[in-house]
């Protein structure tokens, strides 16, 4: 059983059914009946009017969102371990035409208001330096921590004061909602977030992510940017249908809860001593010797070696709880 990444899991039944339903002639691009329902569906979910666009990858969602917030001459503040810095092959530089990522530190890939404030305070606001223009955080973080609404709001307060557009990379936003029990609205726009990359693929989608603008004005140029980046699919209904199937039926939250539950089971088995970070979503970073890791793998489980003496396990929406509990027992028995 593979615990490499939620990226690689199957698509969930609701998504597959939606694809079959959408397999009929309709208007091309995003003029179809499904795409036209997106704004409405996400506006309900977020309890305010939003603009929602489908894209096929988290990188595209993040970078189109950042391009809407930051001009080529600006800087985006983010954690040094942020996905946009570590795992997008420089896509932010491409989509923003050369804006800069200014890196912050913080436990568990979390950004603190103090770190944001300090980074801004260090800058001379003259023509020689690159000015901070946006802030991007990841929720849940790359190390599986979930920001609470109050934490996001504290960051939102600095962002507003420093006039930073506020972006949230929500590749695992569903897991953060499931873990914190706080509402999508509380974790985003009520806390000052301007743009959210709302991930579906890791959570049971096939190929659709949602890019959400809480201020529709901010979204104005984005459909054009999406097209110009080659991201306007001609049969867009197949993307919209995936999102609707997961959002309108609550599947997105059920799936995330399943993945989180599996992660909690493993976390309890591992115990606090072994856990490098608190487990607040569907990722675990576990201290384990090479021999221990080998012993677990010998029982048919696979996962990444993250660092010497540390492995990463990621649980998925479709993880079979019986198998997970067997693994939990194996870990507990180490």
Stretch that binds its own copies, among 36-44, 95-103, 109-117, 135-143 (CB under 8 A): 95-103
CB of 72 to its own copies, least distance (A): 6
| Residue 57 binds its own copies, judged by CB under 8 A | yes
| Residue closer to its own copies (CB basis): 90 or 300 | 90
Calculate helix-pair angle for 251-270, 237-248, nearest 10 degrees: 70
Please, where are the H alpha helices in 212-320?
222-228, 237-248, 251-270, 290-298
| Residue 63 binds its own copies, judged by CB under 8 A | yes
Kindly identify the residues of this chain, within the stretch 183-212, that bind its own copies according to CB under 8 A. Answer: 201-202, 206-207
| Residue 307 binds its own copies, judged by CB under 8 A | no
CA distances from 80 to 9, 24, 27, 50, 75 (A): 27, 45, 42, 30, 14
Query: Distance between CA 285 and CA 307 in Å, rounded?
Result: 10
Q: DSSP 3-state assignment of 216?
A: helix
Exposure of 129 by Cβ count < 10 A (0-12 exposed, 13-18 middle, 19+ buried)?
Answer: exposed
Query: Using CB under 8 A, which of 43, 130, 309, 310 touches its own copies?
Result: 130
| Residue closer to its own copies (CB basis): 180 or 315 | 315
CA distances from 92 to 83, 130, 146, 212 (A): 10, 15, 23, 18
Stretch that binds its own copies, among 232-240, 253-261, 288-296, 303-311 (CB under 8 A): 232-240
| Residue 216 binds its own copies, judged by CB under 8 A | no
Query: Distance between CA 295 and CA 273 in Å, rounded?
Result: 19
Query: Using CB under 8 A, which of 181, 217, 230, 273 touches its own copies?
Result: 230
Q: Which two tokens stand for residue 313?
A: 């396990």
| Residue 221 binds its own copies, judged by CB under 8 A | yes
CB of 60 to its own copies, least distance (A): 3
| Residue 229 binds its own copies, judged by CB under 8 A | yes
Q: Are 208 and 200 in contact (CB under 8 A)?
A: yes
Query: Using CB under 8 A, which of 121, 181, 217, 234 touches its own copies?
Result: 234
| Residue 116 binds its own copies, judged by CB under 8 A | no
| Residue 217 binds its own copies, judged by CB under 8 A | no
φ, ψ for residue 7 (rounded to 5)?
Answer: -60, -25
Query: Using CB under 8 A, which of 79, 167, 172, 231 touches its own copies?
Result: 231
Query: Distance between CA 116 and CA 199 in Å, rounded?
Result: 25
Kindly identify the residues of this chain, within the stretch 247-306, that bind its own copies according to CB under 8 A. Answer: none
CB of 192 to its own copies, least distance (A): 25
Helix (H), strand (E) at residue 17: helix 13-21
| Residue 213 binds its own copies, judged by CB under 8 A | no
- For residue 140, whether the previous peptide bond is cis, meaning omega lies within 30 degrees of 0, is yes
* Contact pattern from residue 5 through residue 24 relative to its own copies, giving x for each residue in contact according to CB under 8 A and a dash for the rest: x-xxxxx----x--xx--xx
Query: Using CB under 8 A, which of 49, 87, 114, 320 touches its own copies?
Result: 87
Query: Distance between CA 319 and CA 78 in Å, rounded?
Result: 31
CB of 317 to its own copies, least distance (A): 12
């Amino acid at each position: 059983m593979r615990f490499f990444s939620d990226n690689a899991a199957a698509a969930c039944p609701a998504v597959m059914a939606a694809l079959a339903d959408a397999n009929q002639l309709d208007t091309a691009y995003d003029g179809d009946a499904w795409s036209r329902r997106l704004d409405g569906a996400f506006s309900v979910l977020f309890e305010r009017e939003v603009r929602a666009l489908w894209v096929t990858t988290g990188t595209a969602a993040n970078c189109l969102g950042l391009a809407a917030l930051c001009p080529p001459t600006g800087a985006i503040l983010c954690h040094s371990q942020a996905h946009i810095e570590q795992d997008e092959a420089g896509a932010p530089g491409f989509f923003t035409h050369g804006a800069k990522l200014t890196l912050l530190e913080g436990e568990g890939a979390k950004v603190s208001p103090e770190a944001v404030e300090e980074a801004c305070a260090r800058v001379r606001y003259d023509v020689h330096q690159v000015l901070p223009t946006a802030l991007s955080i990841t929720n849940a973080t790359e190390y599986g921590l979930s920001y609470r609404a109050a934490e996001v709001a504290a960051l939102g307060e600095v962002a507003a004061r420093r006039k930073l557009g506020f972006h949230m990379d929500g590749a695992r936003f569903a897991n953060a909602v499931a873990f914190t029990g706080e509402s999508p609205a509380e974790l985003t726009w009520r806390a000052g977030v301007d743009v959210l990359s709302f991930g579906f693929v890791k959570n049971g989608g096939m190929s659709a992510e949602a890019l959400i603008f809480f201020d529709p004005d901010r979204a104005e140029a984005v459909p054009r940017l999406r097209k110009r980046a080659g991201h306007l699919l001609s049969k867009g209904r197949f993307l919209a249908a995936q999102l609707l199937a997961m959002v309108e039926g609550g599947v997105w939250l059920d799936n995330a809860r399943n993945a989180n539950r599996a992660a909690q089971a493993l976390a309890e088995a591992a115990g606090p001593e072994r856990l490098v970070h608190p487990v607040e979503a569907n990722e675990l970073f576990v201290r384990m010797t090479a021999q221990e890791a080998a012993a677990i793998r010998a029982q048919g489980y696979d996962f990444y070696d993250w660092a010497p003496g540390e492995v990463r396990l990621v649980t998925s929406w479709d993880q079979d709880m019986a198998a997970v509990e067997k693994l939990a027992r194996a870990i507990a028995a180490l």
